[in-house]
Amino acid sequence: MAAAFSLTSDKTVSSCLRLGCFGLCTPCLPFPDRPTARVGRGRKHSFRPESGSTVAALQGLRGPILFLLLAFALAGCVRPHPTGYFPNYAGLANQPTPCFTVYAERMPAAGKEPRLTHVLQVVPARWNALRLAKPFQEKDLLEMLDDDLIGYLLQYRPPAMRVTRSRNLDMFVNLGANVTQVQVAITDVSKGVAILRPMFGGMFLGATRLQVEGQLVDLRTQAVLARFARRTLGKGTAYGLPTPQSLSPRFCWRLSMDETTDLLARYIVRQLEAPPANWLDAMLAKKPQ
């Protein structure tokens, strides 16, 4: 194969085509500053194929081919579809790295700076049952979302910030601590078509579908601080290759949920400011006896 890609004969281009290059490999690409290259005994191989030739036609398709490859690579993460969970979706914008593919909007009530948060309350995930038919795996998906999200929040949160599932936080509120609620819901899901998932490379035919939406809420005022959503299409592939588990929708949802909760936790923590160390002891010391 190495010989086929080296410029050692006038048959380089045709050899590349037989190997599946289709005129797109480096020796076959046109270089404006190098119109010709010496090959063999004084012969010249032109980097510019003749007009009207098959290679010239294939090279003309490089742009569309690369665009399609990029589109297929990004097809697994798409803009969230309106499901009715939010009043409107126009303000949701794709977030920069490391939260890329998370669509979110910071609300006016949050201000421009991260919100000082002493306690992060994770409300149990719910099903958007009014607009979404419940699949057989509803309980599994909700537990998966709850467990994964709180696990990643505990991993990324600042050490002094408390993360809890407790519903009764009156003690913290009475001390004057800022409590931010994390509300999440599964708003769209589909098991896809199992037999199509291992086929057609990266075209995401038959892929599972999963959309998670949520918001950050000030527990004291119930003001919405931020809204976020992420939608994924899952094929259950490993390194781009189909696996036997691709036929299982739960396996595909498992991969999508793990990636989604990881990115959502990163986004949530970036919206919050860490409290000072030993803040609880300081508040308890100021509390009237």
Higher pLDDT, 286 or 275: 275
Contact 258, 146 (CB under 8 A): no
4-15: pLDDT as tens digits: 433 434 444 434
How much is the pLDDT for 137? Answer: 67
> What percent of the chain is modeled with pLDDT above 90?
46
166-186: pLDDT as tens digits: 988 988 989 999 999 999 999
In a 10 Å sphere around its CB, with 0-12 CB exposed, 13-18 middle and 19+ buried, how is residue 167 labelled?
exposed
Min mean pLDDT across 43-52, 82-91, 148-157, 216-225 is at: 43-52
Phi, psi values for residue 2, rounded to 5°: -60, -40
Query: Which residue ranges make up each domain of the chain?
Result: 2-70, 78-286
* Measured distance CA(264)–CA(44) in Å, rounded: 57
- The answer, yes or no, to whether the previous bond of 98 is cis (omega within 30 of 0) is yes
Model confidence at 26: pLDDT above 90:
no
Claim: this prediction has a pTM higher than 0.85: no
Confidence bin at 267 (pLDDT 50/70/90) = very high
| Cα 18-24-25 angle, rounded to 5 deg | 80
Q: What is the DSSP string of 57-119?
A: HHHHTHHHHHHHHHHHHHTTEEPPPP-SSSS--TT-EEPPTTSTT-EEEE-GGG-SSPEE-SE
State the CB neighbour count (10 A cutoff) for residue 260.
26
Higher pLDDT, 261 or 36: 261
Confidence bin at 53 (pLDDT 50/70/90) = low
> What is the rounded average pLDDT of the residues 115-126?
94
* Measured distance CA(4)–CA(121) in Å, rounded: 61
Higher pLDDT, 44 or 157: 157
Q: What's CA 6's distance to the chain center, in Å?
A: 39
State the CB neighbour count (10 A cutoff) for residue 148.
20
CA 172, 174, 178, 183 torsion-angle sign: positive
Model confidence at 79: pLDDT above 80:
yes
Q: Which CATH class is domain 78-286?
A: alpha beta
How much is the pLDDT for 12? Answer: 42
How much is the pLDDT for 191? Answer: 85
How much is the pLDDT for 65? Answer: 58
DSSP state of 238: B
How much is the pLDDT for 278? Answer: 92
How much is the pLDDT for 207? Answer: 86
Contact 227, 102 (CB under 8 A): no
* Measured distance CA(166)–CA(121) in Å, rounded: 7
Pairing between β-strand 224-234 and β-strand 103-106 as defined by DSSP bridges? antiparallel
